[in-house]
Structure 1
């Protein structure tokens, strides 16, 4: 039969503690057991005065932020509301039923006035990672890396167009040095490279000028930031570099790899997607003796013409052979680091495949080859090894899973903060929370 539950329970009085109300298997208990937050005190001690009234405990402020990111709460204002009524959160902070939770603006004010000039957030991330290392949860053999975009807090239709300097390319000085060495060997004068980068017209947001205009196809256009991230086999985030959204992955990759390998020198291989498959990045990996794990990339260019891979390079004679077995000899080395190989026009004009080979008016075919092209070819050979196939297959279980969890569960799909500095702090704290969650659950 149908029954009606009485509402008398609302007025019930009981003698009970917070300790009894929080379930024994609650995530917040596991986190409290996994890490001792007292390491924060010496980091921020110098920012507090010995005079004046007592402040809010800095550990409490940091714990409140971790509650927000661990449970994907959309804002600090909403986080305080949740803590006010959630006994597990109060237990984690050490607040009883009657204590007033700090105002939602408290952390923001402390960040601007006190924590901004410290290394607090970097130290929190490093300390959690250190605990995972001590617990032997991190594997230091393969680095999985990629980047993801974080939508900026800026209207994509509200911008100006400005001429800005193009960022220096990664490994540019080493490339320029090798270009000039090659030219001297060939008996040509070395190039004088410009000291200032070129200017390019870009869209600059009026709301958040430090974000970058990101374009991916015709539909996805927005101002965004990029989180260039590396993780291990188990999904522990090892480091992150946040940049404007219009910076290419391969430009940031050397700095990210160098930073992570300094902390984890046992890493011997780097797995990344096709965006990192450039001659410059592979040369960087070769010089650091790191094994590249990169995917197949489809040939680019006009599909109605013969593909570049149909021209075979002869290393001994330093020339290319076309499908008709005619040589293309070395001509010059460009400022961009490409060696040009040209055919003989008087031979090509009678070639049966001329229309499929080139549209040049003088009937001359030009094939370019980067001075570090050998590294690209070696990476292509390694792609067929069992190690590379198995390692690359794990990308979807590692770095791709990290980004999926960060966006779906921890609020990293977009940011409510503006300026690169604040977005970088926001991103690093999310990843620190994710590492802490994994450390707590596995411990």
Structure 2
């Protein structure tokens, strides 16, 4: 039998506690039990004056932002609307049912006046990470590193082509020194690297000039930021760094790892990263740091059915390559980029029955390039076949890739409304802090 409700209870009065209105297993209860937010007071105390009108409680101020990033609400304006109607959010903030919620612009004004040029966001991130470590949740035997793009608040058609100076790569100085050492040892004149590098044309946004124009394969071209991230085996985020979206991943890994050294519990055995980090410079850096490289297989380049670089055997003693036909490729001169060309004998190649599979050069000469730091990459390649590397690399999809998926789907990390590198650094840091806090709270519960 169908029942029709005839009583309209919307205007009824009840004596009720806000405590009774929040479900016992709600996320805000788990978070509130996991962390005492009073640690914020000493962090911001010096930023407030001892005179003037009483301010909004800074813990409430930050908790509003925490709610936005914990639940992936798209803006502070929308967050305030949600707080006004959501009893669980009011309970988390410590507000009464009828108490007025601060205006949506309150945090923005406080950010500009107080928090913008401080390290308070890093201190919050670090405090939550320390909580995870104190509870025994951190396992950094292997650190997993990767990056994800965050769409910038800039129209992709609002860019202009500008000549900008080329950025110096992190390994440039060391590479130049070693190149000249090799040349001098071979009786050749060293290169003069003091010459200014030619500027390059880049697409710069007129809306957010600190973002970078991101192009990768068939993906949409857009202005974006990159969030370079390091996490442990349990998926806790240990460190991050935001850069323009057109900065290559391998350029940021050393500074990202160096930043982790300030953590009191930093003692990793290896670094796991995808193919974008598999370069001679990264392999050398990890070797010097005493870190085991855990890098994937990369498919050799070249025409299908033809000989590729792995088909040629390198003879370290004589510094030469041996081709599949048993002939040698002699070493040439080291160039300014740290590569040496190994060239075959044109006369022998011209009459070789394997010529068509080897090279399509009109001069019948095979050329192979080898980097000065290739031995470090070869060492990483040997470790790739070990059971340990295979097992650890397979965990990337459960750790750093899972972080990016959750961040974009649940915490609003797919795009940003903020403009400028510093603002987005703070934004991503707080999102990751909340993701760590959510994991702590869930595990404790």
TM-score (norm 1): 0.97
Q: How does 1:138-149 map to 2 (within 5 A)?
A: 138-149=138-149
1:246 CA displacement: 0.3
1:29 CA displacement: 1.2
String of CA shifts for 1:46-92, please: whole Å, max 9, x gaps.
11111111011111110000000001111100100110111111111
Pairing 1:166–2:158 present? no
Q: Report if the CA contact (8 A) 1:261-1:267 is conserved.
A: no
- Counterpart of 1:300 in structure 2 is 301
1:101 CA displacement: 0.4
Pairing 1:248–2:267 present? no
3-state DSSP class of the match of 2:65?
helix
3-state DSSP class of the match of 1:297?
coil
- Counterpart of 2:273 in structure 1 is 272
Q: How does 1:74-223 map to 2 (within 5 A)?
A: 74-194=74-194, 196-223=196-223
Query: Between Structure 1 and Structure 2, how many residues are aligned?
Result: 443
Stretch of structure 1 that moved more, 261-270 or 273-282: 261-270
Q: Specify whether residues 197 and 439 from structure 1 end up closer, same or farther in structure 2 by C-alpha distance, changes over 3 A only.
A: farther
- Counterpart of 1:239 in structure 2 is 239
- Counterpart of 2:380 in structure 1 is 379
Q: How does 1:360-439 map to 2 (within 5 A)?
A: 360-439=361-440
- Counterpart of 1:329 in structure 2 is 330
* Separation (CA, whole Å) in 1 of partners of 2:66 and 2:195: 45
Q: Report if the CA contact (8 A) 1:144-1:270 is conserved.
A: yes
* Separation (CA, whole Å) in 2 of partners of 1:7 and 1:418: 51
String of CA shifts for 1:340-373, please: whole Å, max 9, x gaps.
2122222222222223323334332221111111
1:285 CA displacement: 0.2
* Separation (CA, whole Å) in 2 of partners of 1:117 and 1:294: 37
* Separation (CA, whole Å) in 2 of partners of 1:52 and 1:241: 37
* Separation (CA, whole Å) in 2 of partners of 1:231 and 1:70: 19
* Separation (CA, whole Å) in 1 of partners of 2:226 and 2:26: 33
The unaligned stretches of length 5 or more in structure 1 are none
1:7 CA displacement: 4.1
- Counterpart of 1:283 in structure 2 is 284
* Separation (CA, whole Å) in 2 of partners of 1:347 and 1:62: 74
- Counterpart of 2:48 in structure 1 is 48
* Separation (CA, whole Å) in 2 of partners of 1:233 and 1:219: 30
Q: Report if the CA contact (8 A) 1:279-1:373 is conserved.
A: yes
Q: Report if the CA contact (8 A) 1:167-1:197 is conserved.
A: no
String of CA shifts for 1:165-193, please: whole Å, max 9, x gaps.
22211221111111111112212121111
Q: Specify whether residues 396 and 153 from structure 1 end up closer, same or farther in structure 2 by C-alpha distance, changes over 3 A only.
A: same
* Separation (CA, whole Å) in 2 of partners of 1:3 and 1:362: 91
Q: Specify whether residues 333 and 200 from structure 1 end up closer, same or farther in structure 2 by C-alpha distance, changes over 3 A only.
A: same
Q: CA RMSD in A?
A: 1.4
String of CA shifts for 1:197-230, please: whole Å, max 9, x gaps.
4311111111111111101223421110000001
Q: Specify whether residues 7 and 412 from structure 1 end up closer, same or farther in structure 2 by C-alpha distance, changes over 3 A only.
A: farther
* Separation (CA, whole Å) in 2 of partners of 1:36 and 1:177: 52
Pairing 1:71–2:68 present? no
